[in-house]
């Protein structure tokens, strides 16, 4: 294709312009140019073909010049300036080639010759310009969009890493606090807690591929719940259900953790926590409910956990999740649904 545009298109362009001018001129004068001497026709046709090469070469230089100037982005001023150059150069080239032809052949230079020479090539030039530049502008637009998407994706990945990193200090503080109090009561139990704690850390540090099996998340939650039960009140009534039909479904890691962590942090009143993870058609539903001591004190307390979770869901599951959190009677109910297809 490059060979065509470089070697075959320029003479074809010159011939198209030439024969269009001849067609209109001969229609007015009723002349049949093919009856003229062969040498005259060959000179005009050869000159038109050379004009095509000159035209394409100069316009390639012009386009490269403006492409360099518009690397920072296209603007109306640059495009208008380019069009002005296109108009001027086209008129100079066409008049330099075709005006002498009309002046020294046939009946000399007539008014209609000047009109044809200045109008017809300009129309073809604008068509050529539109085709060439529309492709360049489209490619530049696509490149800019790809670059913008790459920058946006990098920013989102950085934000995701930051949001996930914010879970660690909160989790570490609670776990270390549990081990600290347990060591005064039972050293052997504290050692086992440290082992479980190390498993949790290992999952966070080394098993953070883009998505994980939901079974890995369930095992992580089970270890986390076991660790939290150690430091919880004996009055706590804990009801945990994990759907056995969940196996290889892929989810992004550590999305369920903030809800469980939140439940253990704020549980009060009659001290009950219900944790349910189940599969519903093509959705994974995770529901956590915990009793609270009173509505006012709970609402006044905040934290980065749920806010970070909402933001991560927006980034990881746009349009494919629902998350609700509300106080219902003396309980706080949070429900997260993820679409897995």
pLDDT at 205: 66
Distance CA 41, CA 203 (A): 84
Task: Find, among 281, 275, 164, the residue nearest to 218 by Cα.
Answer: 275
Distance CA(206)–CA(209), nearest Å, equals 8
Do 48 and 18 meet the contact criterion of CB atoms below 8 Å apart?
A: yes
Alpha-carbon gap, residue 248 to 228, rounded angstroms: 26
Query: Is-contact 192 174, C-beta < 8 A?
Result: no
pLDDT, position 153: 67
For residue 39, what are its two tokens?
């040498």
Residue 265 tokens read as: 């942090």
In the block, tokens 């032809």 appear at: 101
- For the chain, how many residues are written? 341
Pairing, β 272-280 against β 237-242: parallel
* pLDDT at 298 (0 to 100): 47
Q: Which residues contact 222 (CB under 8 A, 6 or more apart)?
A: 240, 242
d(CA 196, CA 15) in angstroms, rounded, equals 83
Using CB atoms within 10 A of its CB, is residue 194 exposed (0-12), middle (13-18) or buried (19+)? middle
The pLDDT of residue 301 is 46
Contacts of residue 208, defined as CB under 8 A and 6 or more positions apart, other chains included, come to: 164, 253
- CA 200 to chain CA centroid, Å, is 34
Nearest residue to 66 (alpha-carbon basis) of 54, 75, 78, 80:
78
Token reading at 222: 């089970």
The C-alpha atoms of residue 315 and residue 304 are separated, in whole angstroms, by 16
In angstroms, the CA 341 to CA 332 distance is 29
Q: Mind listing the pLDDT tens digit of every residue in the chain (341 residues)?
A: 778 888 889 999 999 998 898 888 878 777 777 777 888 889 888 988 999 999 999 988 988 888 777 665 567 788 888 889 989 998 998 888 888 888 877 777 888 888 888 899 999 998 988 888 887 777 777 777 777 777 666 666 655 565 555 555 566 776 777 777 777 777 787 788 888 778 777 777 654 557 888 998 999 899 889 888 877 778 899 999 999 888 888 998 888 988 998 898 888 888 999 999 999 888 999 999 999 887 545 444 445 578 888 888 888 888 899 999 988 888 999 999 999 87
Q: How is residue 174 written in tokens?
A: 């609670």
Backbone torsion region of residue 213, taken as left when φ is above 0, otherwise alpha when ψ lies between -120 and 50, otherwise beta: beta
What is the C-alpha to C-alpha distance for residues 14 and 49, in angstroms, rounded to an integer?
Answer: 5
Q: Return the bridge partners of 337, or none.
A: 285, 322
Contacts for 79-82 with beta carbons within 8 Å, 24 or more apart? 82/133
* 41 vs 116: CA distance, rounded Å: 18
Widest CA span in the chain: 118
Buried b (16+ CB within 10 A) or exposed e, 176-190: eebbeebeeeeeeeb
Cβ atoms within 10 Å, residue 37: 9
Residue 24's CB is within 10 A of a number of other CB atoms, namely 16
């Amino acid at each position: 294709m490059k060979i065509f545009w470089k070697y075959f298109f320029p003479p074809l362009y010159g011939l198209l312009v030439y024969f269009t001018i001849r067609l209109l001129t001969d229609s007015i004068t009723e002349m049949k140019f093919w009856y003229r001497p062969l040498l005259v026709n060959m000179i005009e046709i050869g000159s038109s073909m050379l004009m095509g090469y000159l035209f394409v070469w100069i316009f390639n230089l012009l386009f490269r010049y403006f492409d360099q100037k518009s690397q920072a982005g296209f603007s109306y001023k640059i495009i208008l300036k380019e069009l002005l150059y296109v108009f001027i150069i086209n008129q100079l080239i066409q008049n330099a080639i075709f005006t002498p032809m009309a002046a020294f052949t046939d009946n000399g230079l007539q008014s209609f010759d000047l009109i044809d020479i200045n109008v017809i090539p300009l129309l073809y030039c604008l068509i050529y310009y539109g085709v060439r530049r529309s492709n360049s502008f489209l490619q530049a637009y696509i490149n800019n969009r790809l670059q913008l998407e790459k920058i946006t994706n990098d920013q989102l990945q950085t934000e995701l890493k930051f949001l996930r990193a914010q879970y660690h200090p909160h989790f570490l503080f609670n776990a270390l606090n549990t081990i600290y109090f347990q060591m005064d009561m039972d050293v052997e139990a504290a050692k086992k807690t440290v082992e479980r704690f190390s498993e949790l850390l290992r999952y966070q540090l080394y098993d953070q591929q883009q998505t994980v099996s939901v079974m890995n998340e369930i095992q992580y939650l089970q270890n986390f719940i076991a660790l939290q039960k150690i430091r919880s009140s004996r009055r706590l009534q804990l009801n945990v259900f994990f759907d056995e039909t969940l196996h290889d479904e892929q989810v992004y890691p550590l999305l369920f953790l903030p809800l469980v962590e939140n439940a253990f942090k704020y549980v009060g009143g009659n001290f009950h926590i219900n944790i349910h993870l189940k599969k519903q058609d093509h959705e994974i539903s995770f529901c956590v409910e915990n009793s609270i001591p009173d509505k006012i004190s709970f609402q006044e307390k905040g934290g980065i956990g749920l806010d970070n979770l909402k933001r991560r869901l927006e980034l990881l599951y746009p349009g494919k999740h629902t998350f609700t959190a509300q106080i219902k009677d003396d309980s706080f109910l949070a429900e997260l649904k993820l679409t897995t297809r």
